[in-house]
Amino acid sequence: MKAILIDDEPLALSYLERQLMKMDTISLEISGRFTNPYDALDLANHTKVDIAFIDIELPEINGIELAERLLEHYPGLMVVFVTAYQEYAVDAFELNAIDYIVKPVRFDRLSKTINRIISNHKVNLSNAGPLQPIRMTMFKQVMIEEPQSPGHFSLLQWRTAKAQELFLYLLQHRGQLVRKSFIVDLLWPDVDVNKAYSQLYTTIYHIRKTLTPYEKRFQIKSANDGYVLGLENVILDVAGWSSSPEANPISENTLEHYIEKISSYTGDYLQEYDYWWAEGERQRLKQLWIHTAICLGQWYEAHQQFDEALTAYLHIRGLYPIEEKSSFALMKLYDKIRKPQKTLECYQELTEQLKEEFDEPPGYDIQQWFKKWKKRQSRLKSAF
């Protein structure tokens, strides 16, 4: 395996290299040793490396930022942080680096690091086969299926709020290039541009490490001064919501598909995350789900399956009580199956909720229909 060493202290570099050369458990080639981190980046442009030993405290660029910029070239790079300060050891450990070493580097401690590197390399080779698909939810709350525990979902644990937001933004724009300059303006609009880019590289590093347990299912690639998030064998609950029922009509053959599709919608897209940039997609998916659920109810009605139609319309009202189209469809269905009290209650509930929320009455079409319905009910009572 090939390694590079980065430290602004020449003596520390020489000492670390001598200690590494004593190791007989690994075949290691030192491809470069650098006091200038930018020289290490230049090497990474044309030479593949497997391991990077990086001092966290560098004068021009911090070690975490450097690690991320190296990972842009080689996502599988194994990073070992070296620090002269014990307090940084905890930070490095939390970053999920392969290991951290406190200076001066002792031979016995370095041996443990090399053993971790060997173990990690073996695991990577054993995981080279096809990955099992896992599911991930974006409706209501973001949760992911554990690779080793099918059916068990958990929350992703993020080191910072910025890391969470950036990951979700890349996930929303999966497969698309998102420029670094845009990300900096989005997440750090009031920060000095150089510091903002440093924050960006550190945040991307945190994201990569959080996603490590999921192996190659998530791939953050750097291209054209931006990032592209690719997914492999990750099944998103939102992925099936790219088209309306008109493109693939509801029928006996597609009914089960639509029932499952409707059930997968457990709440608004990223409902528990207050990101302004998610609002457009949130509204698009909401309206598409409502439209699809109404189409399902109408299909049931057309096939005289009134109980199922009621369930479909009531499902919409349960999530969105002030949604007028579904309430209107529900009123007309109650009328069709001769449940006048339910028709009246439905109209009254909608009127009260719209009044409370927007200080507005129901739409003109609903009001006109209800007036005709009341006259018809009066005539029926008069006839008796």
Mean pLDDT of 39-67: 89
Q: What is the mean pLDDT of the chain?
A: 90
- Please give the Cα distance from 288 to 302 (Å, whole number): 21
pTM, two decimals, is 0.79
pLDDT range class, residue 127, cuts 50, 70, 90: low
Q: Write the pLDDT tens digit of every residue in 355-382.
A: 999 999 999 999 999 999 999 998 887 7
Task: Look at the block and give the residue holding tokens 């910025």.
Answer: 162
Q: The tokens of 206 are what? A: 């945190």
Would you tell me how many other CB atoms lie within 10 Å of the CB of residue 220? Answer: 19
- What pLDDT shows up at residue 336? 95
**Residues 333-346: pLDDT tens digits?**
999 999 999 999 99
Torsion 122-133-71-67 (CA) sign: negative
Q: At what angle do helices 324-336 and 364-383 cross, to 10 degrees?
A: 20
Are the C-beta atoms of 232 and 180 separated by less than 8 Å?
no
Confidence of residue 120 (pLDDT cuts 50, 70, 90): confident
Give tens-digit pLDDT for 152-185.
Answer: 999 999 989 999 999 999 999 999 999 999 999 9
Confidence grade of residue 93 (pLDDT, cut at 50, 70, 90): very low
Tokens coding 40:
């290490």
